[in-house]
A and B are shown apart, each in its own frame.
Chain A
Amino acid sequence: MVFNSYTFIVFFILMLSLYNLPIPWKSRKVILLLGSYLFYAAWNPPFILLLWLSTLVDFFVGRALYTQENKHKKKLLLVVSLIGNLGMLCFFKYGGFLLENFVALSNSIGFHFHPAKPNIILPAGISFYTFTTLCYTIDMYKKESKPVKSFLDFSLFVTFFPHLVAGPIVRPPQLVPQFETPKKATQQQFLQGLFLLSLGLFMKVVLADSMLASPADTVFSSHQALHSLDAWMGLLAFSGQIFFDFAGYSTCAIGVAACLGFVLPENFKYPYAATGFSDFWRRWHITLSSWLRDYLYIPLGGNRKGVVRTYINLMITMLLGGLWHGANWTFVVWGALHGLYLCVEKLIQDFNKPKLQMATAGSEHRIVQNGFSLPAGLQKMISSGFIKALFVFFLVNVTWVFFRAPDFTSAWRLLVSLFTKVPGGAVVLTNFNILAVIVIITGMLIFHWRMRNTSVVATIAKMPFWLLGLVWALLLGLLILSQESSGSFIYFQF
């Protein structure tokens, strides 16, 4: 089920009531686990079997990996776990894609092969819970944490409903210890959780679904070259939509967990205020980027094997990160662009390092161009990094073209519309669409910039109660007024 549905509201009220019953902690955990299974089964009941299989295999394989001393047997167990988890992911997520590419390759070399198109349904959240269980078995292999003693705790770690279908991707040490001792949300934690849930739903339902989805869909589904204004507005709408959709989900998840007394890791930290691409990935989908860093980039050698290998490792990580998002070459190009940005940024940083050291040794630190001092306001903006942040935002937007476009033809057509003046380019967006995009995206950029070094919880803590009450009422009021039906979150398909 999705957070933005009546079913979830009823489910959550029931869960809160049952979970807070004065019964033993183990029974409350059983309630949480059964509730989590119900949460998942409410989408497509048979797929719960996959979740059970994954939980069962990884619990026992993880324990064996930790205790096994024989290196060969240990490696064999790791391979079993990797094949089990990644095999399932490959079949459901990449089965059709692999077959399609195999057919294209066969036909291109003259071997005509035309199999029936497979009809594979992608189980919700498979990419997320696969990564959750994978990090457990890899940690066990490396003995980086101790095996979970209780099968109930491990099942809850994998299945805990707030993070199950779209993250944040949790690591065992972040969540498992929280199941070991009885938990109950304090009143403050509960109210903060409710506020975060309201904020997350507002981001998803009001901003992403009600205001930005329509212009983004209109532009990306257009089969003709567009007027530049429409192309840019559609692209900006999507950059807002994807942020509010996914960050909205994560905010809801963190809020729901807080209402139950649990803490989930932060997943977004105002990414459009990033002043560089490594900064962007420290702020966007943080739990995935740190997962990729720890379980892919560093095992590949990270930056320990020389300059060239560092760039290669960066590119491999981002290409696979792109493919994780979807079985399409457009996602690979999206990842490749981000990899390229990171490489160029690293190259510039390495090149500037000696100069920067010299500059900081000097006494005066002013920005002078062509012999003239820039206006004080502009100097301040440049030195604060705001202009850099806008430039990063612009380049990130270019990557969203490949992320959202269904194919390369559409992506190219949109790029042409964005960067050239297409004679007779179609106008497809209404003034309402354009106004909504301008207001929301400008507001989003200002908000991200001002909030870049703080958090929602810290900010609301400083607000007078009447202001927070008004803001809260506004969020919920607009949420009720928007009347969007329970649309799925974009990241459910990943």
Chain B
Amino acid sequence: MSNPSLRKAALLALVILVVFFSFWEYHLRSLNNGLSYDDGPELWTQKRSEVYLPSDKATVLIGSSRHKYDIDINTWQSITGERAIQLAFEGTSPMPALNDLANDSLFKGKLVIDITEGLVFNTSPYNMQRLTKALAYRRKITPAQRFSFEVNHLLESQLSFLDRDFYSLSAMINRSGIIPPRAGVMEEPLFPIEFGRVSFDRQDLMTDQFVKDTTLQNKVKGIWNFFSKMAMKEPPMSQQTTDSILMVIKTDVDKIRARGGQVLFVRSPSSGPYWGGEQHVFPREKLWGRILSMTGSPGIHFADYPSLANFQCVEFSHLSPADAVLYTKNLLAVMEQQKVWAGSGKLASK
């Protein structure tokens, strides 16, 4: 092929790409779902690197999706004047993160652990895989990967189509519904895009449409139902396993406290039949109560405080963005009132 033909081919390819992706971006923006960041090991690792800020400058949050939806990072930061470092992962036990921080001698800060009993008292590797993958990534991260993350951040901040969970090639084929599920293969239920958009601070936010649309909410409630049924098929956890998990929590918390760190446990709100089921399967005195008594750490259970107890979770398990702001304010007020942080951990009086 001669030079002019190759040049013309390259130009044609460029024009097609620019036109296609301009239209694609325009179309996605018109859906009003907003930008969302890839919440993979790369973003988690970037947040993890911030945990060494002095204890009067930051609080680290670990746990599962309730932390990610219910804690409004901006509200937290504006009231306390401190960074809120979100290290929770959806559908994930906080145990590997707690263990990671406990064994990091440089971490001496404040830690808030979200207790979702169904995930904490569960030994399935499936409930830890996202965090395990992130921890492995952090251990082996290269300078090139750090640089790629920064470039990716710049692009993700501008382009809606860079949304791996919903607009990548395989995600779009999977979500198109044109390929039926295969009998006998457990396929993960697909959450609607409106349910969770991820901010760069790793906060999960429902869209306005999700908060209004009961069909979308029912779809997510159906997914919780699916997971509940799956969990019910599992044999109940033995007392021995429960005790060993509690012992691991105590050991890790002791390590953090021994070097001056502080730990607070939080039980975030859930509602309706979900809350009813949780109370039945995970009796408070046998799990929540024992965590606090064994570790000697403070804890805030939403049901104990009127300012926290009256929130209605949109799909029984998570708060809307507007409620998250209010809940965060109220939670911080309870923390202040209960003086959960000793010494320098006092909240700013804003």
Contact = CB atoms under 8 A, between A and B. Distances in A.
A483 B9 contact: no
B193 interface: no
Given A210-B169, A429-B185, A431-B181, A6 B7 contact: no
Contacts, number: 146
B16 A470 contact: yes
Given A469-B10, A469-B11, A431 B3 contact: no
Interface in B142-168: 142-145, 147-148, 151-152, 155, 161-164, 167-168
Contacts of A480: 17, 21
Interface in B1-33: 1-3, 5-14, 16-17, 20-21
Contacts of B235: none
B1 A1 contact: no
A41 B16 CA distance: 37
A191 B7 contact: yes
B16 A43 contact: no
Contacts of B168: 210, 481-484
Interface string B163-203: 11001111011100001111111010000000000000000
A443 interface: no
Contacts of A44: 142
Interface string A180-220: 00000011100110110000000000100011001000000
For A45, A470, A473, A482, which residue has the most chain B Cβ atoms within 10 angstroms?
A473
Interface string A432-448: 10110000000000000
Contacts of B13: 469-470, 472-473, 476
A435 B170 CA distance: 12
For the side of the interface on A, what is the size category? 35 or more
B182 A429 contact: yes
Interface in A456-490: 460-466, 468-470, 472-473, 476-478, 480-486
B12 A469 contact: yes
Nearest to A432: B179
A468 B144 CA distance: 33
Contacts of B145: 5, 7, 486
Contact of B12 (A470, A478, A482): A470
Given A6-B147, A485-B40, A430 B5 contact: no
A486 B10 CA distance: 25
B42 interface: yes
For A434, A469, A486, which residue has the most chain B Cβ atoms within 10 angstroms?
A469
A49 interface: no
Contact of A10 (B7, B147, B161): B147
5 contacts: A10-B147, A192-B6, A427-B185, A431-B181, A466-B12
Listed from nearest, the 4 A-B pairs whose CB atoms lie closest are A469-B12, A6-B151, A42-B144, A1-B144
Interface of A: 1-2, 5-10, 41-45, 186-188, 191-192, 194-195, 206, 210-211, 214, 427-432, 434-435, 460-466, 468-470, 472-473, 476-478, 480-486
